[in-house]
Amino acid sequence: MTELHSHAELCLRMARANAALLRRFDNSLGGHHGISFSDFQILNHLSRAPGGRLRRVDLAERLGLTASGITRSLLPLEKIGLVTREADPRDARVGFAVITATGKELALNASDVVDLISREALRPFAPDQLEAMSAILGQIAGINLSNS
């Protein structure tokens, strides 16, 4: 197997594993809480942010989305009262996404489902393997402590 082929094969397997996990998360979260895994990620980031709010551009960066992508993702959450918009009084160009009390409660409850599925999916791996995988995937995604 050539080096290029093995790298491509690894990336294809990562994409397939990602798709399988997303299906499991979406099915369980949709069935239990009526949200997708993408919705959960937004609520999770906001619930962990200071004051439950993030600039929309920062939220987009953490999720790997464009500014328009985060706007499209936030609209349904705003409509059902899980997230609100807030303008920066000092700079009208800056917008914040803010999690509501209902959104925080949902994120907390949904995190139990995400944790259960994560534990099931990763059960075969030893803790040192999980740490190594997490570090490698973080490097690939460009994640560091400030943007995780």
Tens of pLDDT, residue by residue over 67-95, are: 899 999 999 999 999 999 998 788 777 88
pLDDT score at 94: 81
Kindly tell me if the per-residue pLDDT of 3 is higher than 80: no
Confidence category of residue 65, pLDDT binned at 50, 70, 90 = very high
Q: What is the pLDDT of residue 91?
A: 78
CA pair distance 79, 93, nearest whole angstrom: 22
Rounded Cα gap, residues 105 and 83, in angstroms: 12
With 50 as the cut, is the pLDDT of residue 112 above it?
Answer: yes
Q: Above 70 in pLDDT, residue 114?
A: yes
pLDDT at 104: 98
Q: What is the pLDDT of residue 142?
A: 80
Give CA–CA dist 52/104, Å, rounded.
8
Determine the pLDDT at residue 4: 58
Task: List, for residues 13-63, the tens digit of each pLDDT value.
Answer: 999 999 999 999 999 999 999 999 999 999 999 999 999 999 999 999 999
DSSP string, 71-107: HHHHHHHHHTTSEEEEEETTEEEEEEEEE-HHHHHHH
Residue 119 has pLDDT above 60, yes or no: yes
pTM here is: 0.86
Domains parsed from the chain with CATH numbers: 3-118 (1.10.10.10)
- pLDDT tens digits for 120-145? 999 999 999 999 999 999 888 886 54
